[in-house]
Structure 1
């Protein structure tokens, strides 16, 4: 019996054990960490995937090497209940590992990843509306820790819920510092003729510390309720590090590694590039290959876009969930923003419309009024706009590049607009896109009229007749000063007459007095007939 017991003990120890890993929230991150080979090149010599299953549902995800003999697989469960997993690897020490965990319901502030909703808009997975009010922080994760922490403190006290940010460091006017971490291991470094350090990289080996730091900052954004619009490639290298000219083979390895690490983060969006057409080392036809690689590496299908410089990409392709556009003219005046929306039939995010600041470049010196008006023009048209600030700040930092403090006048007004939008019954669209580019509607009981720079002493109450309210319905008007951030409710009640030449007027043709100021808006809501 002793011999038999010993034999059974040895047999059991030789089997792959099923490990219980506790509980993970739905849409949160479950992680398997395993020890494996360190010799050779673990990034290329060792393959690792894992199959997760919950009843009849199965999903295979890529694992990755995280340095110091540690391999990881991350999974974002999208269904509650008990999940099982089994690893598949060409390394015996990593192959066939099994385990279970229980996926529980979401806690407060966990609404899941953002998805497209109603063709032109967004929702979280749990159905909660999401309106993107983004800002730009290209190289904020490549700064000293104190500056990164100051950036997070700034974001905590502002209304921005999306951040456009680069993976690779950036070398450009306003951001020329060396980062603390680099994405690849160094082969060698030496002094260059220009006084800088010349570094030779081993593009076959990633630097896990770089990606661990990036992940920490993305989690920091998640804790603030902010989506990370992760820019995979950009043209702002200029030979400084060579990360913009890795060659397609290395580019695809980088995409596979990045998506294996980040796909399980619920607040990640993919932006294939910033100004893709300015990256001269990558031909236009390469972007389809890179896009498909991102989609293949992300089993959860996070939002995905590509951003242009001067030439638009093929945003109609199904791999792109929404459209990310650089074009300041689209939100300079009425009737422009809606045009591209009607071309692509996807959510339109005007991610670069120039920035509030005082740089000499034409893209870097919008006034606060102009930046705020750009947001209103986009929102009224049923589209969305991203902020950026280029004032020089303490320590010669610029928020758009490095982060830090916001000193511009538009963020408070943008926050005011976000509150107005979120108080409404739903996302907006133009009530009559053919003829009325100032009046937006969420439904026939709610309208928002924006006047922009126009000043007038009087406005005759009228609404677009197309799909407008029926006769005898009553409405009340609030005058919104979008700059002073005030809302004044007017006492008058307006009763709808019949449609007349595509417009619906008050039955007595009432008008309202307005202050002679620019940047006014009207919120018009239905009230009870009683």
Structure 2
């Protein structure tokens, strides 16, 4: 007998079956495959991939022998059996991401995941050479999540014809929304797999309002058939996230709110792996009720990032501000903030307990803007966001909890967070020359570093032991009533965009000259 096929833990096992060609398999044939290993069963949807070929993709989450059997409403595809062996995970494969510790994320093997994302809405609809350039840029940019659409986008700076139509042309010369263009969807899945290979989560936007093809106005039956097809094609990839929509509220005239709930519920039924799922607002006032069971995390767009801690408490889930406005210079207020401002907003978001998303919108004669089409990054924020990511991943074990949740009123203005003994304070536009609030209450063995968030430097500084001077005590070194707020204070350079990192009992690799007035 031939040896069974093999795949790796959290890899992709794919198999195909020959089946009916008649009628419209997209609507007429329903195929599921039941995979079983060591008492665990996983029901995975299959799909028609053209010319009577049906496929299924399974992401095994247990080592050992897996067996499978098909279930189908057509006899020729029902009751087919097979098996394969799942070996150890490949290099860099930590499994799919899920919510962990209420406000944070981790991979299936326990490795923590801190989202630092960017946006290229229509990158898979550009010329192939530009798509390769996008992948090369992403491989070295420091982002680990990408927001991207299934459908092409028609909007300013994104008006070119897409690489593929998403559906086949009917007799009238228009796209037939009941017949997927398999070439287009095969290309989409190849690019999702390419992102997986370079360690980037693919945040798949399923609907958006920027459309000249009619995709956003399909019937609900067509929407559901399309959604099942996308889920069947992509759910076997460990790096997939589902975003129901970009700016769902701009589609409420054609997809009322109950429709979005039904979409979420059906995706939950079809996706056996429970990939992260969110829905993204347009207007600030139209945030979805993210407390609903099928939503795993909050995805918002809002420039007012100082409210991050407030939002995460309101919804009780991880908060990802996927669009806090973009670095660029286009004549739209959401797309012309400075690199310094975007970096500032990232720091505010992270140190207030959330996660952020980057975008870049610099005018180009050929309309090749990163946020729409990918290609090359031209701005200054990306390396500084990567610097912040490196700082977080170096020390944070669970996730950052805002100090404002400890009742520290000062941190409604100045941002601070903790993770066990680790503290990260960010002053932003504030420029204190001394600081003690939020520092540890005991005078232990602490390593204290000054971080310049723009220059990307880490400098060892000393601590100023209490008792502090009366002036410093009055200005934040002590709580009301005169008792010390911390066991020590620090002296700072008195300029904006600085942060302090406090770690207990560590020996750092950082070699830097202390600031001139440190003690």
TM-score, normalising length from structure 2? 0.90
Distance 2:494 2:386 in 1: 24
The aligned residue for residue 278 of structure 2 is 305
Instruction: Answer whether contact 1:463 1:504 (CA < 8 A) is retained.
Output: no
Alignment of 1:77-476 (within 5 A): 77-188=60-171, 199-237=173-211, 240-279=212-251, 280-310=253-283, 311-329=286-304, 331=305, 334=306, 336-393=307-364, 395-426=366-397, 427-433=399-405, 434=407, 435-437=409-411, 438-456=414-432, 458-463=433-438, 469=440, 471-476=442-447
Q: Is the 8 A contact 1:81 1:102 kept in 2?
A: yes
Greater radius of gyration (CA): 1
Secondary structure, in 3 states, of the residue corresponding to 2:190? helix
**Paired residues of 1:462 and 1:504 also in contact (CA < 8 A):** no
Name 2:12's counterpart in structure 1: 29
Give 5+ residue unaligned stretches, structure 1.
1-17, 190-198
Counterpart in the other structure of 2:42:
59
Once residues 297 and 209 of structure 1 are traced to their aligned partners in structure 2, the CA distance between those partners, rounded to angstroms, is 23
> In 2, are the aligned partners of 1:424 and 1:442 still within 8 Å (CA)?
no
In 2, the alpha carbon distance for the partners of 1:34 and 1:485 equals 54
Q: With the length of structure 1 as denominator, give the TM-score of the two structures.
A: 0.88
Question: 2:21 aligned with 1:48, yes or no?
Answer: no
**2:427 partner SS:** strand
Q: Is the 8 A contact 1:358 1:364 kept in 2?
A: yes
Partner Cα separation in structure 2 for residue 460 and residue 245 of structure 1: 56
Distance apart, 1:373 and its partner CA:
0.4
Give the deviation of 1:185 after TM superposition: 0.8
Task: Return the offset for 1:76.
Answer: 1.1
Identify the match of residue 520 of structure 1 among 482, 487, 498. 498
The DSSP-based 3-state class of the residue aligned with 2:141 is coil
CA contact (8 A) 1:473 1:495 kept: no
Q: What's the offset of the Cα at 1:484?
A: 0.7
Structure 1 CA distance for aligned equivalents of residues 207 and 336 of structure 2? 26
8 Å CA contact 1:305–1:323 kept in 2: the answer is yes
Provide Cα deviations, 1:67-113, integer angstroms capped at 9, x if missing partner: 12211111111111111011122333322221111111212100000
* Residues 510 and 217 of structure 1, relative CA distance in 2, 3 Å threshold: closer
What is the DSSP-based 3-state SS (H/G/I as helix, E as strand, rest coil) of the residue aligned with 2:209? coil
Tell me the residue number matched to 1:8.
Answer: none
Distance in 2 between residues matched to 1:131 and 1:102, nearest whole Å: 32
Deviation at 1:392, TM superposition (A): 2.4
Tell me if the contact between 2:448 and 2:500 (Cα under 8 Å) persists in the aligned partners: yes
Kept after mapping to 1: 8 A contact 2:26/2:225? no
Q: State the shift of 1:505 in Å.
A: 4.6
What is aligned with 1:12?
none
- Provide the aligned length of Structure 1 versus Structure 2: 489
Match of 1:192 in 2: none
SS at match of 1:324: strand
Superposed CA deviations along residues 482-523 of structure 1, whole A, max 9, x for unmatched, are 0011111014475899x963875555x6541x3342211111
CA shift, 1:444, in A, is 4.5
Change in Cα spacing, 1:510 to 1:41, as seen in structure 2 (3 Å) is closer
Is the CA contact (8 Å cut-off) linking 1:496 and 1:505 kept in structure 2? no
Contact 1:133–1:160 under 8 Å retained in 2: yes
